[in-house]
Each structure stands twice: as C-alpha cells, then as structure tokens.
Amino acid sequence: MLHSKYKGDIEMSVGLVLEGGAMRGMYTAGVLDVFMDNSIKIDGIVGVSAGVLFGLNYASCQKGRTIRYNKLYANDKRYMGINSLIKTGNIVNKEFAYYELPRKLDKFDEETFEKSNIQFYATVTNVHTGKSEYIKITNALEQTEVLRATSAMPLVSKMVQLQNCKYLDGGISDSIPIEKCIQLGYDKIIVILTRPITYRKKKTKNVIEKIVYRNYPNLINAIKNRYKNYNNTVEKIINMESKKEIFVIRPSKLIKVNRIEKDINKLQQMYDLGVNDCKNILEKLNLYLS
C-alpha cells in the first residue's frame, strides 16, 4: 500500500484516529472499506478498542473482513456474550475471538499488514496509573495480548498482563486519541467517530467499579472522569473541525447498537451507514487531503 498525498514537491502525511465503541465499530468498518475502494491512503493510525481491532483490516487491505466475521459469529456462543463471561471472565472469548478466529477461521493477513508500513498505535489504560499508553503494533498476531488489552471492557473483562503491568480498555483513559495523533506530527488528520455529533457522555456514580477496582484508585479516578474527558475531547474535535484543522467522519443518524450486539441486521445497518456517510463526503475529504 502506498502512502501520503503530494502537493507539488511537498509530501503530506495523513494520520487517522479511530474511536472505539465495540459493535458500533461496524460504522468504522464501513468507512474504511470505502477508503480502500477509493485509494484513501493513510500513514499512521491511532486507535482505541474496537477502532484498533477493525482498523487493522484497513492496514491489511482486507475489505469486508470486519463485517463478514462479526455477522457470521455474532450469535456463536464461542465468540462473545454471557456464556463466555460466566465461563472465562471475559465477555469476548479470548481463545476464540483473538486466537482461533484470526489464525484459522477468517485469517488475518499479517504479511500485507507489515508491508503497509502504517505506523499503527493501540491505546491502552494502565490500571496502576490510570493513564493511557500507546503501544505500536508491528506484528498484530504476535501482539494479540495488546489487542486484548485495548479492548478489555471494564467489569466484563479480566485485566490483561503486559510485561509487569495490567491493562484495560484504552477508552477508559483516552476514548478518542486525537492528542496522540497530533503529537505524532501528521500534516492532515482524519477522525472517525462512532457517535453522532449531538452525543455527550453523562456522569455516573460508578458504584460497582469502585468495589471491583478498590485496589486501583487511579483507575477508579479515570473511570469517574471519563465522561468529562470524553465530552471535552468531542468539543475540541468540533472546534478543530470548524477551523478545517482536521476532517471528521461521524454517524449522520443514531442507530442503537449494543456494545455486544447480536442482531446481525443492526450490525449491517451500522456498517451500511458508514459506507453511505463516507461516500457522501468523499469529495470534501479528497479536497481536504489535497
């Protein structure tokens, strides 16, 4: 995959920010499939949670893979759901979803991913510090535990051990990692969100989290302030978008999709919305990138 746009003799690097949201990520999958159809080239990706898991398929040039395997296995007890949570402590089954599926059932193209040379970062939350960390993915299959960590939803997932620290979903500490993408110095930045422009998180009491994570006070603090940090980031993105400093693609309407959605029709609707929204803004996107 080739990268970068050129304007005269000036090379323009393009960064991409991918919000999470579990099965709302079907929207992102639809947008990225249109990117592939229209040769929208990206130099770097900073994703979180499902944004990482589904964004990998853009870097590996596997159009349609995200929607395909999610529809096929959405109602398979081996994949995700209460059955897995009770048996393994993880609502998304570790062995099936992260190991068997990408290696045997719907193979991830590791070779193409590595040849893409996309600088790919996964956002994780360090439960000891409550802070976000950004881990570079150079080999997705060898770094499967990083992929689990970025998408390990609190309360319904076990903490993931990486070296000497434990981690959970990157969205706890940095739901939309725009700041990290800015720090990496890309000339142009595209942000793909999975919520409509009117959405804001509400403050919650987090009673269960305070009990379950009582030994991790910094994590509890991050969870408590998540709504505030998320809403501030959304406002920052809207402000940057109004100044044409970044280009934002977000759902044009609300489709209610559960985090662990089993209705394959809703998954398809979310994917189709991503496809249609992206097609509708392609001309503006190309103008921004030029």
Render 156-174 in DSSP notation, one character per residue: SS--EEETTEEEEEGGGT-
Buried b (16+ CB within 10 A) or exposed e, 89-100: ebbbbbebbbee
Cα–Cα distance for residue pair 30/270, rounded to 1 Å? 8
Predicted local distance difference test score (pLDDT) of residue 11: 72
Predicted local distance difference test score (pLDDT) of residue 10: 58
Q: Give Cα 155 to chain centroid, integer Å.
A: 19
Q: Is 189 helix (H, G, I), strand (E, B) or coil?
A: strand
Query: For the CA atoms of 251, 281, 119, 139, what is the dihedral angle to 10 degrees?
Result: 60
Predicted local distance difference test score (pLDDT) of residue 130: 98
Other beta carbons less than 10 A from residue 42's beta carbon: 24
Q: Are 102 and 70 in contact (CB under 8 A)?
A: no
Q: Are 18 and 55 in contact (CB under 8 A)?
A: yes
- Radius of gyration (C-alpha) of the chain in whole angstroms: 18
Region of 217 please: left (phi>0), alpha (psi -120 to 50) or beta: alpha
* Residue ranges in 89-156 assigned as alpha helix (H): 110-116, 144-150
Q: Are 192 and 19 in contact (CB under 8 A)?
A: yes
pTM: 0.95
Token pair for residue 72? Answer: 């096929």
Consecutive 10-residue averages of pLDDT for the chain (290 residues)? 43 94 97 98 98 98 98 96 96 98 98 97 98 98 98 98 97 98 98 97 96 98 98 98 98 95 97 98 96
Cα–Cα distance for residue pair 172/230, rounded to 1 Å? 9
Other beta carbons less than 10 A from residue 43's beta carbon: 21
Other beta carbons less than 10 A from residue 187's beta carbon: 15
Rounded to the nearest 5 percent, the helix, strand and coil shares of the chain are 45, 15, 40
